Chain A
C-alpha cells in the first residue's frame, strides 16, 4: 500500500521525500487538531473521585 503510494509520487528522490514529509505533517496536524480531541472523551473515562 505505502509502496504503491511511493511509486505514484512524481519527480526525483528529493521531491518525493519532500512530498512525503508534507503529507506526514498534514496527517499529524489533522490528528492533533481534530481527531485526537474528538476521540478523547470516549477513551479517557478515569474517575478521580471516591464514591459509593
Chain B
C-alpha cells in the first residue's frame, strides 16, 4: 500500500522553505492592508469619539438651528505641546462614522503611528487666518487618509475642538514631491504672501501604497459652530460623534 519512502532532500526542504517564506510575506501584506488598517483605524475612531464625548461631558449636543446668529470670528486655540491630542477631524465623505484624533506634531512614532492625524508645528491652528496643515498615513497605521482622493468639491470637513466645530469646505487637490513644503505656507505655494483666507491643508502619501509623492487636499474655512450653540446639523446625529456613551 504505502509508497516507497522518499528521502527528504536538501533541495526539497530549501524549496519548501522558500515557498513558505513567500506565503508568509503575502500573508503579512494582506494582514497589513486589509486587516490591521481596519483594526487600528477603528481604535483611532474610538479614541476620537471618546475625546468628543469628554468635551460634551457625555451629553447629547443639539444641532444648531439653521437661522442661528452669526457666530462671529472663530476662537483660535493656542498650539498645544508636541504629541498632545487637541482636536478631532470629521469628514463625512470618508464614512458616516469617520472621525480621527488630531495631535500636535508630525513625528512618525509619537503622533502619526499612534494618534492618526498630526498638525504641522508652526502652521496655524484651526480657525486662524492662514494655513492649518494636517498629515496622516495613506496606508498602514490605520490609513486615515486612504480615501482622501475621494473628496469632492464642496465636501464638508469639520475640525472639532473643545471650543466647537470649524467647518471647512473642500476645494482642490495638488500633487507635490515629498520636499514640497510650499503647501504649508500661509498662502500655499506663495511663501511670503500675506494671508487673508483661513485654509485647511491635508497631506498624505501618493500614489496609494507608495510614498513617491504627496497628495494635498485644500479646504477653505466656511463657518464655525461654538459648542454652546449646538453641533453642525450635518453631523449632529452622525455616528462619528456618537461614541461609547451613545
Contacts and interface: CB of A to CB of B under 8 A. Distances in A.
Contacts of B28: 31, 36, 39, 43
* Chain A interface, >50% SS class: helix
A26 interface: no
A51 to B, nearest CB: 6
Given A32-B31, A32-B35, A50 B205 contact: no
A45 B112 CA distance: 11
Give the size range of B's interface with the partner: 35 or more
Nearest to B211: A46
B112 A48 contact: yes
A13 interface: no
A41 B113 CA distance: 9
A36 B141 CA distance: 13
B151 to A, nearest CB: 16
- Shortest 7 CB-CB distances between A and B: which pairs? A44-B140, A46-B211, A49-B135, A1-B16, A49-B106, A1-B13, A48-B204
Given A3-B6, A36-B36, A48-B112, 14 more contacts: A2-B16, A31-B28, A40-B32, A40-B36, A41-B113, A44-B141, A48-B138, A49-B135, A49-B203, A50-B180, A50-B183, A50-B184, A51-B179, A52-B181
Interface of A: 1-4, 28, 31-32, 36-37, 39-41, 43-52
Interface of B: 6, 8, 12-13, 16-17, 24, 27-28, 31-32, 35-36, 106, 108, 112-113, 118, 120, 135-141, 145, 176, 178-181, 183-184, 203-205, 210-211, 214, 216
